[in-house]
Amino acid sequence: MKKTLIAAALLLMAPLASHAACAPTDFAVQDFKMKLVGAGAAARLSLTGQLVNHCAEAAAAQITIDAKDPSGKVIQSKKGWPAGTTNIGPGQSVDFDLGRLFRFDPEMQSYTVGVADVRTW
């Protein structure tokens, strides 16, 4: 009985996602664009692109976007899962807009984007 309770507890604490056989280099971000929507205090950032799976199996990828000032210093950095907890099939892509994660700052002059992590759900 005690072994059954311990096994059940371990299963409950096990993560729901696992690391995929795919690597971050198996994914690519294409057509990344920044656009400012609106003006003044109501201005909102739109950071769009496509996340493409070049891996042989379905997986999901987390991307990192860094917003930099004119000198290249990172002033904001955010991570997001463009497909959420849905795997992207081999050769398929998903469109994303992760601008909502950022608070607009007029000092933001350039952006870099990369794949940070890969998982299967």
Residue 97: how many CB atoms within 10 A of its CB?
A: 15
- Please name which of 82, 74, 80 lies closest in space to residue 105, comparing C-alpha atoms: 74
Evaluate whether 89 touches 53 at the Cβ level (below 8 Å): yes
pLDDT string in tens for the chain (121-residue length): 555 545 444 444 444 445 558 999 999 999 999 999 888 777 789 999 999 999 999 999 999 999 999 999 999 999 999 999 999 999 999 999 999 999 988 899 999 999 999 999 8
SS3 17: coil
